[in-house]
Amino acid sequence: MPGKRVLQMAGLITGVITVQLLTRFTGTGYFLTQLTMSAYYSLVIIGLCLLIGYAGQISLGHAGFFAMGGYISALLTTYNLLPYKDNAIIAVLMKTGILVVRTNLYGSEILYFQPWVACIIAVSMTVLVAYLIGGPILKLKGHYLAMATLGLGIIVYRIVLGSAFFGEADGLSEVPAFTLLPGLKVSGNLSVRISNYYIAWGLVIIAFITLLNLVDSRVGRALRSIHGAEDASSAVGVNTAKYKLNTFVLSAAFASIAGVFLTHYNGGIGPSEASVMKSVRYVAIVAVGGMANLWGALIMGVLLNFLSLRGYFGSFDDAVFGGILIVIMLFAPEGLIRVDIFRYLKRAVSGEKAGEQNDGSS
């Protein structure tokens, strides 16, 4: 099993490096910006794929979790605490390095939360909200769950759009770079474009591998069993409520982390990131990818987000994703990518006959 995983990881890393080299030799380095952003959106999508495709629970509110991560970390890293520096608590936080000082474009000093601290607070708060809300709403099924999560998404959207705190329609800007390690920072600055491409994809690959591990495990079987026959699942001892909630929270955490990173990369975040159309887009991409197909979700996540970010869909952008959702539901509810690509490739390489290999992974 781990051998297979190493192979999968090697394949992904090769692909990522190949794409970067291609852009280098074809002089299309500017593609890396959208590929980096697509990677972060794909992180939301693979998390959502676990929730929808494996646990069988819909969410039309994941843009809300993405926005929570992005907005909270943006607020914590842009709100100037300098006027309160004489406050005892602030002073202690400064001493411990939780609060740091930077000089902005206009030469004035800003006292703000260290991005790592902001990131941890943002993701923890998202997880807490997902946990508190997920408990009651995951008791709902089907359309009712869809509507409840839609409501959650709308609430987050209205809050960020309506509060001066979060910059209303302008959102928050001037978000500083996020230094992960000395010399390695998440930032949209052109000089670090290539390293940011690898940061984003490194994060996605790690997340993706953990999800592949998960669906191939006892937990993965339990999730699929809930999706397939919830009664029978509880009859074999699966605590279905707990598993659904954990998956919901996990996927919210993925969305939140993506929100934090993309906000630092873009240097800001606006209310459109929290909009319902974003949530619909994520669901549409999971559907195109084949619902219970992490590979499909990843590939479609990168491809469609890249096309969208490059502006290929023009002013029809949102309409394209709405249209995709309708067409998929009508004609291919199992998604476009049905085969396990990795298994297919392995079979093609080794020349095995179809049907011989059945290792239960997806």
Partner 1 sequence: MDLLKAENLNRSFGGLKAVDNISFSVGECLIKAVIGPNGAGKTTLFNLISGFLRPDSGSIVFADREIAGKSPFQVAEMGMARTFQHIKLFPKMTALENVMTGRHIHSRAGFIPSMLHLPGMSREEKFIRERSLEIMESVGIMDLADIEATDLAYGQQRAVELARALACEPRLLLLDEPAAGLNMRETAEVAGLIKKIRDSGITILIVEHDMSLVMGISDEIIVLSYGEKIAEDVPLAIQKNREVVRVYLGEDDA
Q: Which of 211, 262, 280, 304 binds partner 1 (CB under 8 A)?
A: 211
- The distance of closest approach from Cβ of residue 355 to partner 1 in the complex, given in angstroms and rounded to an integer, is 9
Count CB-CB contacts under 10 A for residue 136.
9
Q: Which of 19, 213, 272, 276 binds partner 1 (CB under 8 A)?
A: 213
CA distance 183 to 192: 10
Q: Which of 79, 210, 311, 323 binds partner 1 (CB under 8 A)?
A: 210
Decide whether 99 or 250 has the Cβ nearer to partner 1: 250
Decide whether 2 or 182 has the Cβ nearer to partner 1: 2
Q: How far is CA 68 from the centre of its chain?
A: 12
CA distance 166 to 159: 8
Decide whether 193 or 221 has the Cβ nearer to partner 1: 221
CA distance 129 to 65: 9
- The distance of closest approach from Cβ of residue 3 to partner 1 in the complex, given in angstroms and rounded to an integer, is 10
Which helix or strand (DSSP H or E) is residue 172 part of? Answer: strand 172-173
Decide whether 230 or 317 has the Cβ nearer to partner 1: 230
Helix residue spans in the chain (DSSP H): 2-25, 31-49, 62-78, 88-95, 115-137, 142-162, 193-215, 218-228, 230-235, 240-266, 276-289, 294-309, 317-331, 341-350
Residue type, 240: T
- The distance of closest approach from Cβ of residue 262 to partner 1 in the complex, given in angstroms and rounded to an integer, is 22
CA distance 282 to 275: 11
- The distance of closest approach from Cβ of residue 50 to partner 1 in the complex, given in angstroms and rounded to an integer, is 10
Rule CB under 8 A: is residue 214 a binding residue for partner 1? yes
The structure tokens listed for 221 are 């079987």
Q: Which of 64, 134, 153, 220 binds partner 1 (CB under 8 A)?
A: 220
Decide whether 98 or 332 has the Cβ nearer to partner 1: 332
**Count of residues touching partner 1 (by CB under 8 A):** 32
Rule CB under 8 A: is residue 292 a binding residue for partner 1? yes
The structure tokens listed for 240 are 């279905």
Which 221-250 positions form the footprint of partner 1 (CB under 8 A)? 221-222, 224-225, 228-229, 231-240, 246, 250
Decide whether 127 or 156 has the Cβ nearer to partner 1: 127
Confirm if 43 and 254 have CB atoms less than 8 A apart.
Answer: yes
Rule CB under 8 A: is residue 360 a binding residue for partner 1? yes
Which 2-31 positions form the footprint of partner 1 (CB under 8 A)? 2, 5
- For 313-340, what is the HEC assignment? CHHHHHHHHHHHHHHHHHHCCCCCCCCC
Site string for partner 1, 249-288 (x = CB under 8 A): -x--------------------------------------
Decide whether 10 or 235 has the Cβ nearer to partner 1: 235
Decide whether 14 or 210 has the Cβ nearer to partner 1: 210
CA distance 132 to 299: 32
Burial category of 220 from C-beta neighbours within 10 Å (exposed 0-12, middle 13-18, buried 19 and up): buried
Alpha carbon distances (Å) from 362 to 2, 38, 136, 187, 322 = 15, 22, 30, 34, 26
Decide whether 196 or 233 has the Cβ nearer to partner 1: 233
Of 1-9, 149-157, 266-274, 339-347, the segment contacting partner 1 by CB under 8 A is: 1-9
List residues near partner 1 by CB under 8 A. Answer: 1-2, 5, 210-211, 213-214, 217-222, 224-225, 228-229, 231-240, 246, 250, 292, 358, 360
